[in-house]
């Protein structure tokens, strides 16, 4: 009787041990699955991180070069950089955020032509907002003085800001193309088309600031030049790449009918950036 009880206890212990082994095996397979998913996430996110870093460094380099001209220039460039980021660049980032949802849905549903329509609608919206932002930037000096900023710094910051007006139009178009390609998992070209303008920007900014009569204004003008270079690099890729042949079929008047749909997502997205 004692032997039978011992056998039963050993059997129960063996079953329990088997359960632990099964649990460990289950966790092992889950770990392998998560590792694979993490690898895919890194492969997708790392290029996007690099792309954003390159575009951020374009503005950063200009502020650094302007800052070497003097204390007034450093303070003015820093103020202008903050002012334009809040009143312009952040808004453009938010407006383009609508494409992440709209193009993502269209791509998932295999409505590839609709991606191009949404892109055009978003471009129209970005262009209209760029006009309003440009007007605000043109009157930067009185607005900053109204906000109790130093008069000399406000005046110099206004010069820096006005030279960025062409760049805000490029930035709006640029972000739309980025979102459009990103939702189709076309990532590597984004890194290339951001690294090239950044590399060019370092030389262009240095020459405009220190080798021409533009000086301080050349720092911000070089940003506009570099952003347009990026747009001009991406536009041919968008038009002629085989990876976009189904999602981009050229300009269409149909895009005007999608503006309202885009705005419903773009405006809240822009508000969240603030």
pLDDT digits (tens, 9 = 90+) for 4-56: 555 444 444 444 445 555 555 555 555 555 666 677 777 778 888 999 999 99
- Going by C-alpha positions, the residue among 136, 197, 208, 199 that lies closest to residue 165 is 136
DSSP-derived 3-state class of residue 245:
coil
Q: Give me the percent of the chain exceeding a pLDDT of 90.
A: 68
Of 88, 111, 103, 244, nearest in space to 171 by CA: 88
Cβ–Cβ under 8 Å, residues 50 and 36: no
Where are the chain's structural domains?
46-273
**pLDDT tens for each residue of 190-244:** 999 999 999 999 999 999 999 999 999 999 999 999 999 999 999 999 889 888 8
User: How high does pLDDT run on average in the chain?
Assistant: 88
Distance CA 99, CA 264 (A): 11
100-127 tens-digit pLDDT:
999 989 998 888 899 999 999 999 999 9
Question: Contact, 230 vs 252, CB < 8 A?
Answer: no
CB 79 within 8 A of CB 147: no
Q: How confident is the model at residue 67 (pLDDT cuts 50, 70, 90)?
A: very high
Planar angle of CA 80, 230, 207, nearest 5 degrees: 60
- C-beta neighbour count of 92 within 10 angstroms: 24
Q: How many CA atoms lie within 13 A of 30 on its CB side?
A: 6
């Amino acid at each position: 009787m004692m032997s039978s009880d011992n056998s039963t206890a050993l059997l129960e212990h063996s079953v329990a041990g088997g359960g632990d082994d099964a649990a460990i095996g289950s966790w092992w397979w889950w770990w392998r699955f998560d590792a694979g998913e993490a690898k895919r996430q890194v492969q997708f996110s790392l290029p996007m991180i690099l792309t954003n870093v390159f575009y951020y460094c374009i503005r950063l380099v200009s502020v650094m070069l302007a800052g070497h001209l003097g204390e007034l220039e450093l303070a003015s460039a820093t103020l202008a950089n903050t002012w334009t980021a809040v009143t312009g660049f952040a808004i453009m980032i938010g407006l383009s955020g609508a494409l992440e949802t709209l193009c993502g849905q269209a791509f998932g549903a295999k409505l590839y032509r609709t991606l191009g329509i949404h892109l055009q609608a978003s471009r129209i919206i970005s262009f209209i907002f760029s006009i309003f932002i440009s007007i605000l930037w043109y009157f930067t000096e009185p607005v900053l003085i109204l906000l109790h900023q130093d008069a000399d710094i406000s005046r110099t910051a206004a010069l820096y800001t006005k030279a960025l007006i062409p760049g805000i139009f490029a930035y709006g178009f640029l972000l739309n193309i980025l979102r459009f390609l990103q939702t189709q998992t076309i990532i590597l070209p984004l890194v290339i088309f951001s690294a090239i303008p950044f590399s060019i920007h370092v030389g262009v900014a240095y020459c405009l600031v220190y080798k021409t009569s533009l000086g301080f204004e050349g720092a911000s003008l070089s940003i506009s030049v570099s952003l347009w270079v990026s747009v001009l690099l991406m536009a041919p890729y968008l038009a002629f790449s085989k990876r976009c042949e189904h999602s981009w079929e050229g300009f269409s008047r149909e895009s005007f009918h999608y503006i309202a749909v885009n705005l419903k997502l773009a405006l809240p997205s822009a508000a969240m950036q603030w």
